[in-house]
Structure 1
Amino acid sequence: MTPVMFPLVVGLVLAVPLTVDDVTVVELRATVNDMTPEQRVARAHERIDSLPEADLSRPVHVAREGADMLILVGDEFVFGLTGGDGFADEAALEAGSRAAANKLHDALALRVARARPDAILESVGLALIGTLLFALGLILLVRAWGLLSRRLVAVNVDMKRIAIGPLIRNALRRILFALLWALALLLGYLWLTFVLTRFSFTRGWGEALGANLLSLVIRAGRSFAGALPGLAMVAVVVVATRFLTRVFDAVFDAVERGRLTVRGLYPETLKATRRLVTVGTWLFAAIISWPYIPGSDTEAFKGMSVLLGLMLTVGSSGVVNQALSGFVLVYTRALSPGDWVKVGDVEGRVRELGVLSVKVLTPNNREVTIPNAVLVANPIANFDRGVDGDGASVSIVVTLGYDAPWRRIHELLLETARQVDVVREKPRPFVRQSALGNWFVEYELVAHIVENANVDDARSALHAKAQDVFAASELELMTPDVLDVRRHRS
């Protein structure tokens, strides 16, 4: 079978390779006796294909004819070479002719060897072995997929009471599936290349596949080698940033443990400040590293940057508003986890202070989520911030008539506070007369409760104990409604 020749451009001269059984013997460039290089190559193939099988094993030698060199198989002329075929002088022409003769000898010897029955059987055997190895590789990939799938079942990750294990499992499953398919396709490519190169009539296709794969590997290697300086710079930036964040973490840990005092850093803002500094440091590192990332100057990267910027601009206005409101809450220290607060109609203990919202646990054991922007726009009553370190304060109001001695009322209310377990001894509870009505006096008892005590439960306990104490003292608590009813009865 005569392969198709593709001319090569060398300078301004077309070079046509003479290939015999996938072995490039020589490249012809000159036009001789009105025969173009393509015609000379075709004529050489005709002469080679017309050689008897017995002549294929005869020696190939070189003969001179004037200024040209002749290549002969035995006594049969095959093709000739001239100085116009790219040889600078006679010495170069002679050396090139001998090299072409040696290559032609090797190609003819290979043709003879492939034509032997034992060579064909050997090629078939090697192809079968390659096929078995390919099948074994596919079986191993299938078993690896089954093993990894069973391992993925054990993945179980919870984040803020949200099970994200299934999401991670699905993502890993798809990534592994794609990788295994890529390996299977690569094995199939290698198997096809190996099998095609075992037989003379398909060797050209197999070698072309192998050359394409080799070219791809070489290009990838060159690209990787060219990207090494940029990757090294990115690695240096990452290592330096990691070291810097560890230094910042050490400073924040020292401040948190009280070994270091930094003006402007408070326990309530320490966690948020740590996050801001860490995120800001890594963002700065990303900006520095961006030009050194391979492919960062391509149109694909630029388009992706524009798309991400547009998505953030259009879709994140509400998120940014909530996040900024969260920073306002943190740095004004309006509330912190564990505080008992009241915002509008919602009253309870702060359970979580998040980036976008605050979770409050009400006395009815219901969790209410309040967006940060709502908290910033409304007054916040914090019952734990009255006196530093003294716990939340609660108050109850009772009314009695003017005939009841007010000093006695003060004593009974203070006794009420002493009999409630969650009321702290220090600071001491106190009583004040908050109003003088037409028919009664309004007394207010203010007390501080222990840490983490429920404000509503403490207020309820004070109300119940006040009724017991005043009933034991034979003093009746009055309200405007009760007083009005008694006046009408009398």
Structure 2
Amino acid sequence: MQAFLQQSHRLYQRLQHWLILSLAVALLTITLNPAVAQSESSAGNPIDGYPVVLDGTELFRVKQGIPGVASAQERANIVNTRLVQIANDESISLETIRVEEEKSGSVVLAGDTVLFTVREVDRDSNESRQATAAKSAQTVQSAVAQYRHDRSAQQLVYGMSFTLISTIALVGFLVLVHWFVSRLLLRIKAAQRTRTLGFRVQNLQLLGSRATGYLLTGLAGLLRLILVLASFYLYIPFVLSQFPATRALGNSLLSGIVKRMNQTIAAFVEYLPNLVIVVLIGVFTRYIIQFVKLVVTELGRDDAYPWFYPEWVQPTNRLATVFLVIVACIVATPYMPGFNSPAFQGIGLFLGALFTLGSSSAVANAIAGIILIYTRAFHIGDIVQIGEIKGEVVEKSLFVTRLLTFRREVITIPNSSVLNSNLINFSAVSRIPGVPKIASRIREDSTKPREHKEYLLLHTTITLGYDVPWRTIHAVLIQAAEATLGVISEPPPFVLQTGLNDFNVSYELQAYTDRPELMPQIYSELHQNLQDHCNQAGIEILSPAYAALRDGNHSTIPAQYLSEDYTPPSFQIHDQNHHS
């Protein structure tokens, strides 16, 4: 029951909206129609005469007045008033409308009422006065007969029947439009959820699924509005034309609709040559794009041209497509409707000024994005460092680059900033075959063939005292690296002595990994293993410097790594003769 009430409430609200909309359309239609704005008696002029009208139908025109009595316009108004009185008086039969000849002219009467007098100056140029009067009387008789017929009970029943049928048809059409648009919106939302609404031109995606869904939803609502307005625009004049009191208004509205349709058709026919040119430009552009795609695809083959990389194929196709489409739009613009209109020119000036003043940074980012594409600085999924930001490349567009940091933060960097910053790519070395390991050349065996698989080289520095043999330190550091997850065994880790400092020696541990995306975890575990293995080997980590009196001080090695019988050495003082 509650669902029924909710549905009824929604239907009532829609009916209210449609009623308000119909009234707005009626007012708009009447206001915009020039035929309704003027009265029937004001359509004449002194040259063409003033019309005599009955029920919206012009019978004839009065061109001459009676000197000293009435002007031509006043005569026409008097005849109009008498005709309406005669037409509404059912006691005056049509047979009593006749012509009687008098000295002043031919008098047209209806019963005992004089309608008008036809004088010599009123006759048509090709007819006699009597013939003109007889013709006018016959015209009046036919008009009065039609006037009374239209207001008969039978015609009123017909008008009400046609109004009822048209109202039912209108409601049915509105319900059908609502059902169709609702089904269309449901399909759009379903396709939007499945992300299948992307708008593409060739391989270039112009709109994503969500944006396309919003656009189609708006267009569906606009289509519904247009159909509802059009239905009311036809319904209201049709209903008005069914009743005598509003027939003139309805007929004028219908004639206005027909006139606008004729103007639209004439304008379309006139525009057809330009439309053919626009279509030819579009077809020609399409075939040029297809040809360019074939050429670019051929350039991107692995064995064709070594200077053109395969990853350039897709961006080159997109750039070429955008460029050719822009050129085609520029060429087709003079053939667009309204090209020479002030509104079109004003819009063009506004867009030009907006692009010139507000798009400098956008153009800089777009140019930087193109440069980054063709310099092959990084790919999607690479681990890079841009300035102080380190992370995985998750998106590379024409304007921005997005990194997913190791802290799971997505950082958006404008391409112009990327181009102007130092960029370190930790993943690029794995894609470059045959590149020698610079740091490992001191350990390279020239008798073995060089492997073509490259890995990322991690390094960390530790400083230890001179009292520990360097060979022992090398072995311990390599063991710590081999025990770290993520460090590969081939090529093996190695150690470089990078400095003989005042208080210690600098040892740089080098280790390879094939998981650059795990660098923070690998470094953390590597440092932990360095502490554990140095402690197990009895090596004190005195970094960067440690000043102490060894005699009498406890060892810095943690207690769990010392022997059970360890005791701190006693403090000793010797004289010059080495006596305690």
Structure 2-normalised TM-score?
A: 0.65
Cα drift, residue 54 of structure 1: 7.5
Listed as ranges, the gaps of 5+ residues in structure 2 are 1-38, 199-207, 434-453, 554-568, 570-580
Rounded Cα–Cα distance in structure 1 between residues aligned with 2:374 and 2:510: 29
How is 1:243-322 mapped onto 2 (pairs within 5 angstroms)?
Answer: 243-255=287-299, 258=302, 260-261=304-305, 263=307, 265-267=308-310, 269-322=312-365
> Which stretch shifts more, 234-243 or 476-485?
476-485
1:201 match: secondary structure: helix
1:13 match: secondary structure: coil
Rounded Cα–Cα distance in structure 2 between residues aligned with 1:72 and 1:262: 105
1:480 match: secondary structure: coil
What residue is the counterpart of 2:278 in the other structure?
A: 234
Summarize deviations over 1:222-265 as a string: whole Å, max 9, x none.
Answer: 233333333333333333333333434444445555365374x4
What residue is the counterpart of 2:73 in the other structure?
A: 38
2:266 match: secondary structure: helix
2:254 is matched with which residue: 194, 198, 210?
210
Rounded Cα–Cα distance in structure 1 between residues aligned with 2:120 and 2:496: 123
What residue is the counterpart of 1:443 in the other structure?
A: 507
1:221 is matched with which residue: 255, 265, 271?
265
2:419 match: secondary structure: helix
Distance 1:184 1:313, change over 3 A: same
Matched pairs, number: 478
What residue is the counterpart of 1:197 in the other structure?
A: 241
Distance 1:45 1:183, change over 3 A: same
Distance 1:138 1:439, change over 3 A: closer
Cα drift, residue 395 of structure 1: 1.6
Query: Aligned letter for 1:480?
Result: S
Rounded Cα–Cα distance in structure 2 between residues aligned with 1:97 and 1:243: 74
2:52 is aligned with 1:18: yes
Distance 1:47 1:214, change over 3 A: same
- Is contact 1:400-1:479 (8 Å) kept? yes
What residue is the counterpart of 1:454 in the other structure?
A: 518
Percentage identity across paired residues of the two chains: 26
Summarize deviations over 1:81-106 as a string: whole Å, max 9, x none.
Answer: 9798775x569x99999987775554
How is 1:56-455 mapped onto 2 (pairs within 5 angstroms)?
Answer: 57-58=94-95, 80=118, 89=126, 104=140, 106-141=142-177, 154=190, 155-156=192-193, 175-255=219-299, 258=302, 260-261=304-305, 263=307, 265-267=308-310, 269-385=312-428, 388-389=432-433, 390-402=454-466, 406=470, 422-423=486-487, 430-450=494-514, 453-455=517-519
> Which stretch shifts more, 355-364 or 31-40?
31-40
1:109 match: secondary structure: helix
Rounded Cα–Cα distance in structure 2 between residues aligned with 1:330 and 1:395: 30
2:40 match: secondary structure: coil
Distance 1:167 1:101, change over 3 A: farther
Listed as ranges, the gaps of 5+ residues in structure 1 are none
Structure 1-normalised TM-score?
A: 0.76
Cα drift, residue 23 of structure 1: 2.8
> Which stretch shifts more, 334-343 or 36-45?
36-45
Q: CA RMSD in A?
A: 4.7
- Is contact 1:343-1:379 (8 Å) kept? yes
Rounded Cα–Cα distance in structure 2 between residues aligned with 1:62 and 1:242: 77
- Is contact 2:460-2:508 (8 Å) kept? yes
Rounded Cα–Cα distance in structure 2 between residues aligned with 1:81 and 1:413: 131
- Is contact 2:503-2:545 (8 Å) kept? no
Query: Aligned letter for 1:354?
Result: S
Query: Aligned letter for 2:352?
Result: G
Query: Aligned letter for 1:435?
Result: G
